[in-house]
A and B are shown apart, each in its own frame.
Chain A
């Protein structure tokens, strides 16, 4: 349910035409209101959302490649870059859309326990094999990333340098990383065997028995329906009435 709403929300955002800053702003305000209701400080959400920033670089060239009124020109001698208004608007649209989308996804994670997320996926007909793999993966992420950070720490502990000695080559370092990956693989592979035996010992024979996710029922469908209607209305308003530069 929340998954559907979140994906719907992001989809609606991405359908918005270039320059719909007001609509994006409205969507963001709605999100912030929701997050207040769920008692996640907006600060936490905003902080989590900055992961999208590095990607901004990918959109920047657009600033210069759209035709239109020039804002300014940077002269690099050999060639000059001209930033244009439509370019600027396009870039900003992308950045805002992506920033608000990331916050929507963040909110889904902050308000939903992993366990319920998995139930959600089962309802969405994600194959059981994948649901089972993802829950196990999630469980062992902490264990294996713990192992990999201890390995990196052990490497750091031996990464001494004598004053004046030259730095080890990048190639050598990359192959050390390769060795560490190989070592971690063997540890993980053996772990998977032990986990399998532990599962077997408790009656596992190839099928994961779990409590069935409680069925969605009428209220669930009604909720999804109303979210869909709301998003469609939002979309319509954004296209037809809200001013864009």
Chain B
């Protein structure tokens, strides 16, 4: 019933107005920067690529698995989006995902959307990607080093989003900091493990099938393979 990562999708009413508006301001500022940066290194393929990728993140969050105890785990996708699309485009895509979830599917509120985008889209993707880059560089930059880097970044990104949400709830006087931290951070420490396993498995799957897609930060057209374009070399 309760799909835990979506506890990060706060509905309206849980953040006080000043907190919600402040987070909106921060979100808009970062998105503006992302749009400019993404505009610099994406070509006219950007629109179809990012549109379909946003739908992909959304659909990928549907895959679930049973955790003993009756709940189920699934992907959040911030670090994955950052690694696959680059940090700026990934941030924009995640913002669209969270935005549509709030607007169309009532998964998170409208006034609180600024905070939700900030926690999941910006901290998760931009922050997660930065961490991924730093660790990957420290490990030598090879694929072998990049997978553990992605694992750590994925775990930290979920945990950081949860801690941030806890602080926002406490600042809003919705709950006490201690209780929020214990509930959110504790629970998401576990969720984060799932996130890390899924992110690593997804990246190694892609590395095994289309390593070229992981090489480039922004993608170029390559071979479209329709359902029927048969015999491969």
Contact = CB atoms under 8 A, between A and B. Distances in A.
Contacts of A100: 13
Contacts of B111: 7, 10-11, 14, 101
Interface string B22-58: 0000000000000100110001111111111111101
B10 interface: yes
A241 interface: no
Interface of B: 1-2, 6-7, 10-17, 20, 35, 38-39, 43-56, 58-60, 62-68, 73-75, 80, 84, 92-93, 95-97, 99-100, 102-104, 106-107, 109-111, 169, 173-176, 179-180, 183-184, 194, 197-206, 209-210, 213, 219, 221-222, 224-226
B223 to A, nearest CB: 8
Contacts of B210: 186, 189
A102 B62 CA distance: 22
A99 B106 CA distance: 11
> Which of A49, A102, A177, A204 gathers the greatest number of chain B CB atoms within 10 Å?
A177
Q: Nearest 4 CB-CB pairs, A to B? A: A178-B201, A136-B51, A182-B205, A98-B13
29 contacts: A11-B111, A58-B175, A58-B184, A65-B176, A97-B12, A98-B14, A98-B109, A102-B11, A102-B106, A102-B109, A105-B110, A129-B47, A138-B104, A139-B55, A140-B52, A152-B62, A170-B65, A174-B194, A174-B201, A181-B63, A181-B202, A182-B209, A185-B60, A186-B213, A188-B52, A189-B52, A190-B224, A192-B45, A195-B48
A193 B68 CA distance: 40
Nearest to B183: A58
B201 A182 contact: yes
B49 A14 contact: no
Given A51-B107, A134-B99, 15 more contacts: A10-B109, A10-B110, A13-B12, A58-B184, A98-B13, A109-B103, A133-B96, A136-B48, A137-B52, A138-B104, A144-B58, A151-B63, A185-B206, A189-B210, A196-B221
B88 to A, nearest CB: 11
Contacts of A14: 12-13, 15-17, 20, 111
> Which of B17, B175, B199, B225 gathers the greatest number of chain A CB atoms within 10 Å?
B175
Nearest to A93: B13
Contacts of A97: 12-13
